[in-house]
């Protein structure tokens, strides 16, 4: 999760497309449209395969459809949910993308993270974010709007097309709080998990939330094995309230309870994201509370690097302190990983997805 204020400077694009976007139709709606146009049922699958490729921006590219069907579709629909606006490449190989929503010109960001022949993608679920976490660049600018399912899923296609690699996993950790846009997030997960040549297994699709308890419950009842990450960042209520003010109404005691229910119901292990911050959540009492929160439960802790924001007093803990926290958790039997920061030079790392639209020098 992380990011932006996209509205300034590009409002002129709003309303530019008068025709509806074919990519926004559900499977049933698409089948209905093609049926009305006299196309046989097998065309639905063919069209869906084209729609899943964001580099396909026009009906002429759908070469296995008859010309008259392509023309009829072009008269009634547009074909673009997301267009690539700009790319930044990190010296560590990760790439950050600025993508533009065709419907209204809103910009969001996504990131591609290649590693040993595998490609992970981090997508945004909202343009901006209303949660206001104090360590996050996205939270500073507020929420512009939530994205549609197709706008979320198409970010994966943009990254796939640029790398020319199969996408092995997707994390919903870009701009926005996915569970504040639950229905579109779930529909995007299902688009990405749908059978096909580019399908991504449910266990490789991870949603990260600040801890919106009713939605965690709802998520645990979904039939697919999608995975869950929680932005925890402190197991001390007062500290967490200060770092993540929007979730103070979901106290840690209830969060702990509902995560226990989640693990029991799904037999899956939630991941807790924890960014050690010097003097804030890395003190001995804080680490004791973190150990108490995790010990004896099904979970995995990711210690992630805090990326400093301009003008913020929050600083990342020293590497030796982070290793100390890991050792303390592991002594209590809690599996813990220290995640290497990536994409820092292009501001693509967690909390850094902040749009800079001036000249697209984002």
205/210 with CB nearer ligand SF4: 210
177/286 with CB nearer ligand SF4: 177
Smallest gap from residue 176 Cβ to ligand SF4 (A) = 6
Catalytic choice (122, 133, 299, 350) = 350
Q: Report d(CA 114, CA 116) in Å as an integer.
A: 7
Pairing of strands 227-231, 271-274: parallel
Neighbours of 40 (CB within 10 A): 8
Q: What are phi and psi of 180, to 5 degrees?
A: -85, 0
Helix axes 42-51, 27-36, angle to 10 degrees: 120
Catalytic choice (109, 151, 177, 286) = 109
Residue with token string 């939270």: 139
146/175 with CB nearer ligand SF4: 175
Distances (CA, A) of 242 to 114, 128, 253, 325: 34, 20, 17, 21
Q: Report d(CA 330, CA 21) in Å as an integer.
A: 50
73/129 with CB nearer ligand SF4: 129
Smallest gap from residue 212 Cβ to ligand SF4 (A) = 10
Smallest gap from residue 282 Cβ to ligand SF4 (A) = 18
> Which residues bind to ligand SF4, rule: CB under 6 A?
1-3, 129, 131-133, 136, 138-139, 175-177, 210, 231
Smallest gap from residue 132 Cβ to ligand SF4 (A) = 6
Q: How far is C-alpha 226 from the chain's CA centre? A: 13
| 109 is known as an active-site residue | yes
Q: Which residues are catalytic?
A: 109, 350
């Amino acid at each position: 999760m992380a990011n932006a204020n996209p509205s300034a400077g590009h409002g002129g694009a709003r309303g530019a497309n008068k025709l509806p976007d074919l990519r926004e139709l559900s499977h049933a709606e698409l089948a209905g449209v093609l049926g009305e146009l006299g196309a046989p049922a097998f065309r639905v699958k063919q069209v869906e395969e084209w729609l899943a490729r964001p580099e396909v921006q026009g009906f002429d590219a759908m070469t296995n459809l008859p010309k008259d069907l392509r023309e009829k579709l072009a008269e009634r629909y547009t074909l673009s949910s997301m267009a690539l606006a700009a790319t930044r490449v990190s010296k560590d190989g990760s790439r950050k993308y600025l993508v533009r929503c065709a419907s209204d010109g809103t910009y969001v960001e996504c990131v591609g993270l290649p590693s040993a022949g595998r490609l992970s993608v981090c997508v945004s679920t909202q343009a901006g974010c209303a949660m206001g976490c104090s360590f996050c660049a996205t939270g500073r600018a507020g929420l512009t709007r939530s994205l549609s399912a197709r706008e979320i899923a198409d970010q994966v296609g943009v990254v796939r097309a640029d790398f020319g690699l199969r996408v092995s996993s997707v994390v919903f950790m870009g701009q926005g709080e996915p569970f504040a846009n639950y229905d579109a997030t779930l529909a995007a997960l299902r688009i990405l998990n749908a059978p096909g040549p580019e399908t991504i297994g449910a266990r490789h699709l991870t949603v990260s939330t600040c801890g919106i308890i009713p939605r965690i419950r709802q998520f645990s009842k979904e039939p697919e094995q999608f995975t869950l990450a929680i932005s925890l960042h402190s197991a001390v209520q007062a500290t967490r309230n200060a770092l993540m003010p929007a979730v103070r109404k979901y106290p840690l005691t209830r969060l702990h309870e509902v995560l226990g229910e989640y693990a029991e119901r799904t037999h899956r292990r939630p991941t807790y994201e924890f960014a050690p911050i010097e003097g804030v959540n890395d003190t001995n009492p804080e680490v004791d509370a973190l150990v108490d929160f995790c010990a004896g439960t099904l979970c995995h802790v990711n210690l992630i690097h805090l990326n400093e924001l301009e003008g913020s007093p929050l600083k990342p803990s020293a590497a030796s302190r982070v290793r100390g926290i890991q050792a303390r958790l592991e002594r209590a039997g809690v599996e813990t990983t220290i995640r290497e920061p990536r994409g820092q030079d292009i501001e693509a790392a967690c909390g850094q997805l902040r749009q800079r639209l001036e000249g697209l020098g984002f």
